[in-house]
Amino acid sequence: MLRLIGLSKTYKTGDTALSDVSIDVARGQLVGLIGPSGAGESTLIRCINRLVEPSAGQVMLGDTDLAQLGTADLRRQRRRIGMIFQEYALVERLTVMENVLSGRLGYVPFWRSWLRRYPPADIRRAYELLDRVGLMQHADKRADALSGGQRQRVGIARALAQEPELLLVDEPTASLDPKTSRQIMRLLTEICEERNLPAIVNIHDVPLAQQFMQRIIGLRAGRVVFDGPPAELTETALTTIYGAEDWNAMRQGDEEQAEAQADAKRRLEQVPA
Amino acid sequence: MTDLSHHSQVWTYRTPRKRLFIWLGWLALVALFVWCWQIMTETTIWMFVTDAPRQAADMGGRMLPPRWAYLPELMQPLWDTINIATLGTIGGVIMAVPVAFLAARNTSPSVTFLRPVALFIIVASRSINSLIWALLLVAIIGPGLLAGIIAIALRSIGFVGKLLYEAIEETDKRQIEAITATGASQAQILSYGIVPQIMPAFWGISVFRWDINIRESAILGLVGAGGIGLKLNASLAVLAWNQVAVILLLILGTVIVSEWVSAKVRHAII
């Protein structure tokens, strides 16, 4: 479905964000991208729909090399790729419905989008999606009136309105609390399963990635250093990805947090109800 | 507690060197003021200055009581003034919007050529006062309302254009990125990614400029560009101070009302 061949990106400042990344993603596969901050996960995702221009390599979506396209062709191909963002990136001052319909922008002429006169089929699909993500009654609210979890659901609906063949997901849970994070990840995985959609999810939370992803790719300094199922993501593998010091610090942090939570729970239980 | 005694009790905000520099700076400022004062007062005729309170009282006496009977005659020029301000603002805003999009770094189609051109238009418009625009336009297209409207519009381009292009540059990049990722065209990215973000700024700036233009258009008549300023000019020419008083009070009232309207509108948007 998606095949990256020798993808590299060097920024004008001389920083190499990606070097020679080659990945195959099959239809319906959920791929989690993990790695320390600045390892190039965000750049990798943005090179696929060319929000960032790759310096070298091919991005094959089906039979089309996205890296070679001119502006008009690139716009047409971008419709096939839905993107979900960290901190939602909704247009805050537009309504939920307008945000979902904005997923159709690549399909409708300018005058329709300007006058908000979308084709009936698009409107029905938008309502279906809002129903699917559980926001039917919020359709006419402004996006900035919703909570974080609700906004990310709008973000998901907007991406699906494109009827994409691939989802790119950039840290979908970075600004959400743990419970909402799990709900959003569950919704994402369910939707991908329903539609047999492949997704590349850039995710910082390793346990969350292990729980929800079918395949994990570890990046370090712009190179793929791990590629396999979550079960193979051993201590050694994580040490390779994050480096010994950082991984131990992260694990220790997790342990401390778990202990603190257990402790708080015990204290709560002691309090007479 | 005991180990507190190991530490100094003295802490100063500035080093002695810095204090000296600041002291010298103030000294220089005072010296400059004294020097300027001397130059300024060299040509002052002190007799006129000491006479000032009496002159002011005399003028005040001629203004009072205001000739309220003059008021009905002022309504038409006042209406003209409001029209000059409103139409001028609308015209200015219409011309300023494309200029702002050309001047903003993130929307300009050509940063090397069109952006400097747009910035030049903004600076040129801002550097010339409405009264001077009106003087030029009265000479070109003759006296009357039209000269006033165009003068106000030309002066407004710079003000609205500058504030609007700054608002465009401050838009949230992530929202624009998200709209781009859907496969939207450039025009759609503008209308969905940028326009909603700058709408509050746009209305705020426009109403603010309208409020300023009410004040500016009140004096355009002095150079023949129509409105209540014509009446002011005429009354000043015949030393009818009690009429001047009525006109000034009327302008004050209009400005207070326009300020109230503009504050209400801005409050409603934000």
Cβ-Cβ contacts under 8 Å for A264 (sequence gap 6 or more): none
At A81 the pLDDT is 93
**pLDDT tens-digit readout, B66-76:** 778 777 888 88
pTM, two decimals, is 0.80
**pLDDT tens-digit readout, A232-264:** 888 888 888 888 777 777 777 777 778 888 888
For the ranges A99-108, A181-190, B135-144, B146-155, which has the lowest average pLDDT? B135-144
At B5 the pLDDT is 67
The answer, yes or no, to whether residue B219 has pLDDT greater than 90, is no
- Tell me whether A99 touches chain B (CB under 8 Å): no
Give the residue on A whose Cα is nearest the Cα of B172. A89
Which of A93, A95, A152 has the most B C-beta neighbours within 10 Å, making it the best mutation to test the interface with B? Answer: A93
- In terms of Cα–Cα distance, which of A2, A3, A143 is closest to A81? A2
- In terms of Cα–Cα distance, which of B65, B97, B256 is closest to B162? B97
At A131 the pLDDT is 93
Apex CA A63: angle with CA A57 and CA A69, to 5°? 55
Q: For A139, which DSSP code?
A: T
CATH class of B73-269: mainly alpha
Q: Under an 8 Å CB criterion, which residues of B touch A?
A: 172, 174-175, 177-185, 187-188, 191-193, 196-197, 199-200
Output the six-digit token pair for A148: 């974080």
- Tell me whether A77 touches chain B (CB under 8 Å): yes
Spacing of C-alpha B248 from chain mean position: 20
Contacts of residue B182 in chain A, CB cutoff 8 Å?
Answer: 78-79, 83, 102-106, 158, 162
The answer, yes or no, to whether residue B198 has pLDDT greater than 70, is yes
In the block, tokens 């309208």 appear at: B210
* Contact status, residue B149 vs residue B213, Cβ threshold 8 Å: no
* Helix H or strand E encompassing A22: strand A16-25
The fraction of chain A above a pLDDT of 90, given in percent, is 49
**pLDDT tens-digit readout, A60-110:** 998 889 888 888 899 999 999 999 998 889 999 999 999 999 999 999 999
The residue ranges of every structural domain in chain B are 73-269
Spacing of C-alpha B184 from chain mean position: 38
- The CA distance from B70 to B266, in Å, is 35
* Contact status, residue B165 vs residue B100, Cβ threshold 8 Å: yes
**Helix or strand or coil: residue B243?**
helix
At A234 the pLDDT is 85
At A102 the pLDDT is 94
Contact (CB<8Å) B174/A89: yes
B219-229: average pLDDT: 81
Q: In which band, very low, low, confident or very high, does the pLDDT at A168 lie, cut at 50, 70 and 90? A: very high
